[in-house]
Amino acid sequence: MVADGLQNINLLDLKNSFNLKDISLELYQLVSDLYPLCRSITGDGFRETLKILQQHIPLSVHEVPTGTEVFDWTIPKEWNIKDAYIKNSQGKKIVDFTNSNLHVVNYSIPVHQKLSLQELKLHLFTLPEHPDWIPYRTSYYKESWGFCLSHNQYLQLNDEEYEVCIDSSLEPGYLTYGEYFIPGESSDEVLISCHTCHPSLCNDNLSGIAIATFIAKYLSQTTSRYSYRFLWIPGTIGSITWLALNEAKVNNIKHGLVLTCLGDSGKFTYKKSRKANTEIDKVAAYVLTNSKQDYEIIDFFPYGYDERQYCSPGFNLAVGCLMRSPHGSFPEYHTSADDLNFVQPQYLAESFLQCHSMLYILNNNEIYYNKNPKCEPQLGKRGIYRVTGGHKDSELNQMAILWVLNLSDGDHTLLDIAQRSGISFDLIKNAADILLAHDLLKK
């Protein structure tokens, strides 16, 4: 079901290009398909995730061996898990990995032993403030093991002996990531990145994965000025790895977005790039300001998702982060409550359309020169007024043409003109197209 709120988004005439109900259901279905998989920063769960994405787009899979040096980091051992449980003294499973992959601390080393309750408690994690939820915990770079369970489960533990088993492996292998490149008319690139390493967490992980996949799917069917590079990577180590192995390509990246936490009902949040005033920052602010939805724009800070790697001082790329509720700002964050009920189809569709609107403007935000800059050209004899007349917004269209002619001086983008004139970007773009067709503008 698509909420009525979708009708309020300023889509810059993009609504006609999409069936909103179909998109919302397709996005939610992909999230649902990915939800059961136990992902981590390495391993078969990550590979299975990419295989499902390959049913939608022909992304490439890259494998980087354990031990590879990537700047100050080293590719870790590969982690995989088959099963895990805690049994009480009667042999009953009281914590079972097959019921929730969050029950095991991600990257736990293999273990199979019997422990007293006091010994076991040293390896247990709960959320007393949310006693029915299971927390999500990791131990990527320090070898240890543990279980996560609801606090209510924890309170029911008796003082007896327990059998614990984590049937996992931590061995030399590979770090895996997915990449999809869509060539455009220019070698200049727009980067779209999302972390793909969390297990069954829908908003913080799967929402960004699904939206990036469908944005890539739709962009692959169009002609674009920019080239687009999509990355599905493990958080932190994945972006560091890609940057370390692809330094020769980095200079092509002119704009970028990190996508995450885009399936909940919270207001839209855009985190600026480190530079703070780049074109993607301006485009994102414009789209959100004109979206008729609640939003917040926040400054860059060196924590969060992979934008902090892309914006590290040695690269300083123009990459922002698009979210709804930011990480850590909602109680469901990194818990079992971030499930298929927490994200909803209509919110995913809204996020998809906001992201697509940003990329639409970015792709069309060109600079023009007025080829007849000394006074206004006579538009009537060229039939331009007939092109714009007869419509409900004919006067606005004519004003858009006059604004484009006046500010097409080589210093103003179409977005600059839209913001100064107060006329929507799509009308300004349409005016530029008309003037270009009548040989009154040049790029």
Residue 184, domain extent: 4-75+174-364
Instruction: Tell me what pLDDT residue 17 has.
Output: 58
Residues 69 and 82 in one domain: no
Residues 144 and 286 in one domain: no
Single out the residue in 319, 340, 364 at which a domain terminates: 364
Residues 241 and 277 in one domain: yes
| Mean pLDDT, residues 295-319 taken together | 98
Residues 393 and 302 in one domain: no
Residues 249 and 350 in one domain: yes
Single out the residue in 127, 155, 171 at which a domain terminates: 171
Q: How confident is the model at residue 21 (pLDDT cuts 50, 70, 90)?
A: confident
Instruction: Tell me what pLDDT residue 328 has.
Output: 93
Which CATH number do you get for residue 136?
3.50.30.90
Which CATH number do you get for residue 260?
3.40.630.10
Convert the pLDDT of each residue in 347-367 to its tens digit.
999 999 999 999 999 999 999
Convert the pLDDT of each residue in 180-223 to its tens digit.
999 999 999 999 999 999 999 999 999 999 999 999 999 999 99
Residues 16 and 151 in one domain: no
Residue with tokens 């962009």: 219
Count of domains observed in the chain: 3
Residues 190 and 263 in one domain: yes
Instruction: Tell me what pLDDT residue 292 has.
Output: 87
Residues 26 and 94 in one domain: no
Convert the pLDDT of each residue in 227-247 to its tens digit.
999 999 999 999 999 999 999
pLDDT at residue 4 tops 80? no
Look up the pTM and report it: 0.94
Residues 83 and 180 in one domain: no
Q: How confident is the model at residue 176 (pLDDT cuts 50, 70, 90)?
A: very high
| Mean pLDDT, residues 62-68 taken together | 98
Which CATH number do you get for residue 376?
1.10.10.10
Averaged pLDDT of the chain: 93
Residues 180 and 157 in one domain: no
Single out the residue in 111, 145, 171 at which a domain terminates: 171
pLDDT at residue 170 tops 50? yes
Q: How confident is the model at residue 12 (pLDDT cuts 50, 70, 90)?
A: very low
Instruction: Tell me what pLDDT residue 313 has.
Output: 98
Residues 113 and 166 in one domain: yes
Convert the pLDDT of each residue in 246-281 to its tens digit.
999 999 999 999 999 999 999 999 999 999 999 999
Instruction: Tell me what pLDDT residue 397 has.
Output: 85
Convert the pLDDT of each residue in 80-130 to its tens digit.
999 999 999 999 999 999 999 999 999 999 999 999 999 999 999 999 999
Residues 178 and 273 in one domain: yes
pLDDT at residue 387 tops 80? no
pLDDT at residue 385 tops 90? no
